[in-house]
Amino acid sequence: MFRWYVINTYSGHENKVKANLEHRIDSMGQRLKFRRVVVPTEQVIETKDGQKVQIEKRILPGYVLVNMDLNDDSWAVVRNTPGVTGFAGPGGKPVPLAQGDVDKLLHTGAGGGDRPRAQVEFSLGESVKVTSGPLSDFDGEIVEVNPEQQKLKVLVDIFERQVPVELGFDQVKKID
């Protein structure tokens, strides 16, 4: 029975492990025991130097998903692949993922979408400088972060009073 399993890898080597595993599956004649090998990723919008850039980011660094029919042979193919440190599960024993979890990770469920998610690079209590708008060059402290709308609520000192101001992610920059 085909189920989804999670494989531990060295972080940053997920794509290499995927390629190695697919090569081993073919070379060892195990194609009938495996359906898919996936490195779960998502599209994220980051702000770099004031520009919004869409990048692909790994959802689970250090892990690869594999849809396979688990038996001794298929287990050995995966376990002996270079870069694989084991299966995720108690004692390194493979435990299948629930289908709902797989749907969320692969964005195939009803809630999954192709809309890129904004990367939140701000946190509460951080000091920022306003870079555009009527309050440009003012400094403030973040008191609220709204990643869905890409907005921040910042307390800005105006005439020795702290005034809450709502600003977009692209209207501020962090103060080092």
Each residue of 26-49: pLDDT tens digit? 999 989 999 999 998 887 777 676
The model carries a pTM of: 0.62
- What whole-number distance in Å separates Cα of residue 125 and Cα of residue 154? 9
Find out whether 151 and 166 touch, Cβ atoms under 8 Å: yes
Residue 90 burial (CB < 10 Å; 0-12/13-18/19+)? Answer: exposed
In total, how many domains does the chain have?
2
**114 and 141 assigned to the same domain:** no
**104 and 134 assigned to the same domain:** no
- Residue 92 per-residue DSSP state: G
Q: Provide the domain limits for residue 168.
A: 127-174
**52-101 per-position pLDDT tens digit:** 778 888 888 899 999 999 998 989 999 999 999 988 888 878 889 888 88
**16 and 90 assigned to the same domain:** yes
